[in-house]
Structure 1
Amino acid sequence: MPNHTSLTPNSLPPNSLAPNTILLAGASGGIGSALLGELEKEYPQATILTISRRDLATDTGNHSHLTASLADPKSVGKVTEWLRQKPLPNWVINCCGTLHWLSHGQSHGKSHAPEKSLGQCTDDALLQSVATNVLTHLHLAQGFAPLIQRREPLTWVSLSAEVGSIEDNRLGGWYSYRMSKAALNMLVRNLAIEWARKVDHCRVVAVHPGTTDTPLSQPFQENIPAGKLYSPAQTAGRMVSVIRGLREEDHGKLLFWDGTPIPW
């Protein structure tokens, strides 16, 4: 049986969350690219490290990019070796995720839309959802884990989704997306417990960014209430604000875009 260890790390000293080095994965996506711009604006002196499946132009001397598919287990060693040559990140933000394809660039030979009923579920769709929504976060964590240091503050943020909340699920449907996001939430919870034992000052959270005007949400935007569809820039600004304001009691939780907790 697992040991029941306290989830809460030691208290953070004031201002210790201000990042010197930021690692941003999924940096070429809709939210990821907006976050990159927001982070560069808010923290111009910080070293920015980015990872994505596609090449990304680096316009400044303090921005370094790794092209890698984090869904591939071979990326674990690649990430570790790359990061060994860089300053240790004290903010890690992973924006990797998918809801449907091929319409936003994936090519598995078949298209996929969120399932409305059990009969629409397929193994291939579920496995692809897990690969993109869970393994990309697991592999990044595995690549980063050998480098963490007890006395270096660490903030880890995984972009998740409110629909991954089991308690909050009242509509059903979207089987593979909901299941994969619920699995991601459990990964984040496990990381929070393990890294609280290894790092004196850490914040490990999952964040729901809100419905953002990106290719991921475009097929479903006609049903979104007025004022509930946010621009990538608006979402990025909110996320940076949430990360900057993380408190001790937020560690190990799923948070809404305004920083309030969502039940697991």
Structure 2
Amino acid sequence: MRHLQILTVLADQPPGPQSSQTVSNPGTLVEPQATDLFHWQGHALVVGAGGIGQALADGLAQRAAGLQVHTAGPKRGTWRLDLGDDASLESFAALALERFQPLRLVICTAGLLHEGSLQPEKRLLQVNRDNLRRSFELNAFGPLLLAKALEPALPRHLPLHFASLSARVGSITDNKLGGWYAYRAAKAAQNQLLRTLAIEWRRRLPLACVTALHPGTTATGLSEPFRSSVPPSGLFSPQRAAHQLLEVLATRSAEQSGNFVAWDGQPIPW
């Protein structure tokens, strides 16, 4: 296996020399016949360099020697990307087309549950139009607009993964407790958008696998105010969550594209 190099250059700095891992002509790429991503060659991108995102990048660096791993986010990551800014997406799309060839794996971990006055609602009186809009912007629209921006950089002739972190509370069937209006609805919308994307890509990118992933309750800043009742056995470290999610993706192929899957590989009803 070739040596893995993780880029540590910020997007606002001049790009450095290309790693020997970069494939200038994807048509000549040769890799083992194994279908799981740990044996792929090319580039991987993790969007959202928080707890789970950074753990995913670290896990890929350790386990996928043929993939050059990139991270991106509005404040953290090797590249700057704001999913809520069209200009940022457009600039990043050009960067990906130039530098990330072939782009084999994209995992979007960006998500928003609480921020300032935006808090999970316990009753209808707490629902706020601005908070609904903000939750949908990042939790629902963000992953789809990321897919749109990156589509020109994705290979048609090679297997690839596009995955995004959803949440079990986004399941309409599984909603037994109510509350959390904005977050539930935004994650449900993300699921629908990814399902629709998977259907289109069956025609346009037939080797792509699109997956909505539920990581389980993980010890990150997103869950911190709400996990006091979670037993230790049900609370994952970011490293464990990342390991489990990569194991799930490694077993999936284009035939399973468009599904909503938990950290243990079990399907979640819509």
TM-score between both structures, scaled by the size of structure 2:
0.83
Cα separation, 2, equivalents of 1:55 and 1:157: 20
In structure 1, C-alpha distance between the alignment counterparts of 2:235 and 2:171, rounded to whole Å? 20
Whether contact under 8 Å (2:103, 2:153) holds in the other structure is no
Q: In 2, are the aligned partners of 1:24 and 1:94 still within 8 Å (CA)?
A: yes
Contact persistence 1:156–1:205 (CA under 8 A)? yes
Alignment match, 1:72: 85
CA distance in 2, matches of 1:45, 1:150: 19
Q: Which residue of 2 aligns with 1:112?
A: 118
1:44 has 2:50 as partner = no
Match of 1:10 in 2: none
Match of 1:151 among 152, 157, 166: 157
Q: Whole-Å Cα distance in 2 between the matches of residues 145 and 45 of structure 1?
A: 21
* Residue 225 of structure 1, CA deviation: 2.9
Cα shift at 1:149: 3.4
Deviations 1:7-47 (CA, angstroms, capped at 9, x unpaired):
xxxxxx95234232211111x21110111111111113411
- Are residue 97 (structure 1) and residue 140 (structure 2) matched? no
Superposition map of 1:50-199 within 5 A: 50-56=71-77, 65-86=78-99, 87-102=101-116, 111-199=117-205
Q: Distance in 1 between matches of 2:88 and 2:172?
A: 30
Shift of the alpha carbon at 1:159? 0.5
- AA partner of residue 98 (structure 1): L
Secondary structure of 1:262 counterpart? coil
Q: Is the 8 A contact 1:51 1:67 kept in 2?
A: yes
Gaps of 5+ in 1: 1-12, 57-64, 103-110
- In the alignment, the residues of structure 2 paired with residue 138 and residue 97 of structure 1 have an alpha-carbon distance, to the nearest angstrom, of 13
Give the AA of the match of 1:81.
A
* Structure 1 consecutive aligned stretches of length 4 or more whose deviation exceeds 6 Å: none
Comparing 208-217 with 28-37, which one deviates more in the overlay? 28-37
Q: Counterparts of 1:258 and 1:251 in 2: how far apart (Å)?
A: 17
The aligned counterpart of 2:11 is: none
The partner residue of 1:25 within 31, 47, 54 is 47
SS of 2:65's equivalent in the other structure is coil
Give, in whole Å, the separation in 2 of the partners of 1:133 and 1:222. 24
1:217-256 correspondence to structure 2 within 5 Å: 217-256=223-262
Structure 1 position 247, deviation (Å): 4.2
Name the SS for the 2:46 alignment partner.
strand
Task: Give, in whole Å, the separation in 2 of the partners of 1:82 and 1:247.
Answer: 27
Q: Distance in 1 between matches of 2:171 and 2:219?
A: 22
Once the 2 structures are TM-superposed, how far is the Cα of residue 101 of structure 1 from its aligned partner?
A: 1.2
RMSD: 1.6
Equivalent-residue separation in structure 2 for 1:232 and 1:55 (angstroms): 16
Q: Which moved more, 1:150-159 or 1:177-186?
A: 150-159
CA distance in 1 between counterparts of 2:239 and 2:212 reads: 19
1:152 is displaced (CA, Å) by: 2.2
Give the drift of 1:74. Answer: 1.7
Q: Please name the residue that 2:216 is paired with.
A: 210
Task: Determine the C-alpha separation between the residues in 1 that align with 2:130 and 2:160.
Answer: 35
Mean alpha-carbon deviation: is it higher for 161-170 or for 81-90?
A: 81-90
Could you tell me which residue of structure 2 aligns to residue 60 of structure 1?
none
Contact 2:218 2:235 (C-alpha < 8 Å) held by counterparts: yes
Q: Note the residue ranges of structure 2 that are not aligned, 5 or more in a row.
A: 1-31
Q: Is the 8 Å Cα contact of residues 171 and 188 (structure 2) preserved in structure 1?
A: yes
SS at match of 1:140: helix
Structure 1 residue 249, shift from structure 2 partner:
4.6
Deviation at 1:147, TM superposition (A): 2.7
* Rounded Cα–Cα distance in structure 2 between residues aligned with 1:249 and 1:119: 43
TM-score by length of 1: 0.85
- Residue 16 of structure 1 is matched in structure 2 by 35
